[in-house]
Amino acid sequence: MQRLKFNHVASRVPGPFGLLIGGGLFIFLAVLIAIYDQLAQENAALQQQWQRRQTLLAPQPSISQQPVVDQALAAEWLAAQQALNTPWLALLHDLEQAQQVPVYWLQLAPDAKRQHLRMTVLAQRRQQGWAWLDQLKKQPSLTNVKLTASESTEVNGLRMTTLQLEAAWTF
């Protein structure tokens, strides 16, 4: 009786050419890892040398030297500090509290030195702008609220009123 063979697929064992390519790639990978490790060590040594040189070249602060102050720079610094000390959040909160009617802000230009505020808004109707102006006058933090200009304009096909206002704040 003849034996039956159910597996007609050729053997999966790689030939000598495949083993040679695989072994060569493995050796190449080992060499690359060794080179990378050597470069990483050299890089760490160079960074340490660079940091040592930077600390040697950095000027040492002398306690006996008086700092030279530029008057213009000092004035700018003081103005910036005053602008930072301005209570912007409280001012903006009061402006939002006054907005009972739908107006659209176009411009808000505060001046921290003079505690002055210029605003440009759009209202759908002139009466809404006047009502908003009255609300601003009722705010305790705003003083000297006045309308400087009012103009009727067309925005996207709608008739709108542009209002320009000025006010001072007290904080």
Q: Running along the chain, 171 residues long, what does each successive block of 10 average in pLDDT? A: 72 80 96 96 94 81 60 82 73 78 84 86 87 87 89 86 89 68
Question: What is the distance between the alpha carbons of residues 115 and 142, in angstroms, rounded to a whole number?
Answer: 10
Domain holding 96: CATH number? 3.30.1360.100
Domain of residue 91 covers 86-169
Task: Report yes or no on 90 lying in a domain.
Answer: yes
41 and 91 in a single domain? The answer is no
40 and 96 in a single domain? The answer is no
H helix or E strand, kind and range, residue 150: strand 142-155
pLDDT digits (tens, 9 = 90+) for 20-70: 999 999 999 999 999 999 999 999 999 999 998 888 887 766 555 556 667
Identify residue 72 by its one-letter amino acid code.
A
92 and 156 in a single domain? The answer is yes
Task: Report yes or no on 7 lying in a domain.
Answer: no
pLDDT score at 156? 85
Question: What is the distance between the alpha carbons of residues 152 and 109, in angstroms, rounded to a whole number?
Answer: 21
3-state secondary structure of 43: helix
162 and 93 in a single domain? The answer is yes
Task: Report yes or no on 81 lying in a domain.
Answer: no
3-state secondary structure of 123: strand
Question: How many domains is the chain partitioned into structurally?
Answer: 2
Which is nearest to 155 in space by CA: 131, 129, 126, 122? 122
Task: Report yes or no on 97 lying in a domain.
Answer: yes
Task: Report yes or no on 115 lying in a domain.
Answer: yes
Task: Report yes or no on 20 lying in a domain.
Answer: yes
